């Protein structure tokens, strides 16, 4: 069988051809196998497993996104035809846990000898949710270096207990291996393997934007909001890709509409300005969306003007509260727990002139408190679109009711 010689990421350090044999790896984004509900409106490319695939250069790969039409049937076809030795499932949303466990349970009898691995945001913070017979290994944290180490170790018959950053499901229970350090520099990570699902890319959309792609320019956030799991997932560190690397990735994406996956894209305002200016210089014309804090928008209205010129179409802002007291209670005020000395956060909505500003408003279930009602009415009246969801503490956060292991 021919070695996978696809050149994507070949020049990106960190994916050496260190193995002599190759494994057959099936990358799976679990789903119900039909497009339903929220997935009909927003269905973004499975960037997490595309990144994991990028790190598996030298192995034979297939990818199936089960959220798309006939997902279950396509999974079964590939399993029958390809007979993977490793199945790698991605589960970033807590709401996808049961679908992920069900897919693993479906695969187990079909592939009794295969190693079934799960990774993503939820398994990283709650590996116990995957302590089931269908799953062999849970990967904690960012996946690129761990999956390569894991698959190489499996291929060479080594001991998985020596692979840092994993949880092994054994008959005696879950065995945690030692912690893996975060990737030293994001520029060393291989490029995501977007080519593995070429025919599917037209299916990715965000509302009316289609085809739609994701680009990651940074990981982590310097803030410490109590309800948020991002800073814990990235161990309190913020790492960014160089502007050159970001431009390289952007130039390689064919979709016209792009969402930056960074949880706080304007963490370094100067860097984001440079990206916008370089896009303008390079003549890359696309529609961009990103997530930012209201206080940064309020403090830097000029950054929005530059980004509008570069193609900004949408900014997501989370409005968990609107008064300084409420924000301080959530540790969202700037200054790590101290009330902000800058403008009140809601001024961010006023100072955002032309692009659509979308707000995400978590509301406490049950009786709507006056604080919730004021958050809702203030943000809904000042933003183009607002999405409300019940406040539920993200696993891995320190929000009341959240859990992790």
Binding site for ligand SF4 (CB under 6 A): 221, 223-225, 228, 230-231, 263-264, 293, 332
> Could you tell me which stretch among 15-23, 86-94, 323-331, 343-351 binds ligand B12 (CB under 6 A)?
86-94
Cis before residue 173, ω within 30 degrees of 0? no
Answer yes or no whether residue 385 interacts with ligand B12 by CB under 6 A.
no
Q: Residue 204 or residue 319: which is nearer to ligand SF4 going by CB?
A: 319
CB 188 within 8 A of CB 12: yes
Answer yes or no whether residue 152 interacts with ligand B12 by CB under 6 A.
no
Q: In what order do the strands lie in the sheet with 115-119?
A: 60-65, 24-29, 86-90, 115-119, 137-139, 166-170, 173-176
Q: Residue 37 or residue 370: which is nearer to ligand B12 going by CB?
A: 37
In angstroms, what is the C-alpha Rg of the chain?
21
Kindly give, in sequence order, each residue whose CB lies less than 8 Å from that of residue 136, ignoring residues fewer than 6 positions away: 115, 116, 117, 168, 169
Q: Residue 177 or residue 379: which is nearer to ligand SF4 going by CB?
A: 379
**Which x/- pattern, by CB under 6 A, does the window 202-231 give for ligand B12?**
------------x-x-----------xxx-
Q: Residue 263 or residue 295: which is nearer to ligand B12 going by CB?
A: 263
Q: Which does 10 bind (CB under 5 to 8 A by kind): ligand SF4, ligand B12, none?
A: none
The DSSP bridge partners found for residue 361 are 388
Q: Which does 92 bind (CB under 5 to 8 A by kind): ligand B12, ligand SF4, none?
A: ligand B12
CB 304 within 8 A of CB 297: yes
Answer yes or no whether residue 64 interacts with ligand B12 by CB under 6 A.
no
Answer yes or no whether residue 263 interacts with ligand B12 by CB under 6 A.
yes
Joined tokens for residue 327: 């924000």
Answer yes or no whether residue 244 interacts with ligand B12 by CB under 6 A.
no
Binding residues (CB under 6 A) for ligand B12: these are 38, 42-44, 47-49, 51-52, 88-90, 92-95, 117, 119-122, 139, 142-144, 146-147, 214, 216, 228-230, 259, 261, 263, 360, 362, 387, 389, 394-395
């Amino acid at each position: 069988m021919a070695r996978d010689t696809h050149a994507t990421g070949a020049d990106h350090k960190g994916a050496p051809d260190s193995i002599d044999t190759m494994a057959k790896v099936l990358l799976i984004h679990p789903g119900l196998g039909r497009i339903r509900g929220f997935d009909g409106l927003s269905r973004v490319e499975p960037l997490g497993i595309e990144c994991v695939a990028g790190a598996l250069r030298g192995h034979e790969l297939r990818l199936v996104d089960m959220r798309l039409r006939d997902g279950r049937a396509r999974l079964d076809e590939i399993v029958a035809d390809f007979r993977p030795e490793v199945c790698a499932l991605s589960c970033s949303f807590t709401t996808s846990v049961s679908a992920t466990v069900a897919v693993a349970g479906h695969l187990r009898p079909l592939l009794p000898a295969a190693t079934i691995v799960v990774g993503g945001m939820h398994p990283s913070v709650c590996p116990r949710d995957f302590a089931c017979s269908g799953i062999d290994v849970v990967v904690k944290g960012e996946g690129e270096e761990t999956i390569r180490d894991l698959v190489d170790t499996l291929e060479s018959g080594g001991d998985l207990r020596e692979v840092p950053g994993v949880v092994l499901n054994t008959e005696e229970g879950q065995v945690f291996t030692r912690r893996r350090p975060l990737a030293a520099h994001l520029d060393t990570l291989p490029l995501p393997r977007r080519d593995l699902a070429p025919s599917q890319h037209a299916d990715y959309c965000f509302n009316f934007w289609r085809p739609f792609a994701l680009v990651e320019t940074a990981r982590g956030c310097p803030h410490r909001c109590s309800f948020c799991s991002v800073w814990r997932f990235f161990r309190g560190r913020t790492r960014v890709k160089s502007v050159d690397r970001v431009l390289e990735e952007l130039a390689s994406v064919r979709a016209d509409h792009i969402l930056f996956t960074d949880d706080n894209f304007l963490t370094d305002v100067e860097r984001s300005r440079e990206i916008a200016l370089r896009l303008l210089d390079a003549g890359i014309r696309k529609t961009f969306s990103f997530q930012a804090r209201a206080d940064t928008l309020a403090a830097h209205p000029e950054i929005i003007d530059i980004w509008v010129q570069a193609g900004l179409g949408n900014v997501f802002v989370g409005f968990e509260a609107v008064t300084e007291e409420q924000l301080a209670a959530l540790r969202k005020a700037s200054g790590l727990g101290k009330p902000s000395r800058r403008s009140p956060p809601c001024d961010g909505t006023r100072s955002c002139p032309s692009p659509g500003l979308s707000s995400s408003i978590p509301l406490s279930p049950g009786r709507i408190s006056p604080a919730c009602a004021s958050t809702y009415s203030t943000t809904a009246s000042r933003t183009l679109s607002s999405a409300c969801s019940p406040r539920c503490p993200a696993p891995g956060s320190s929000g009341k009711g959240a859990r992790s292991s």
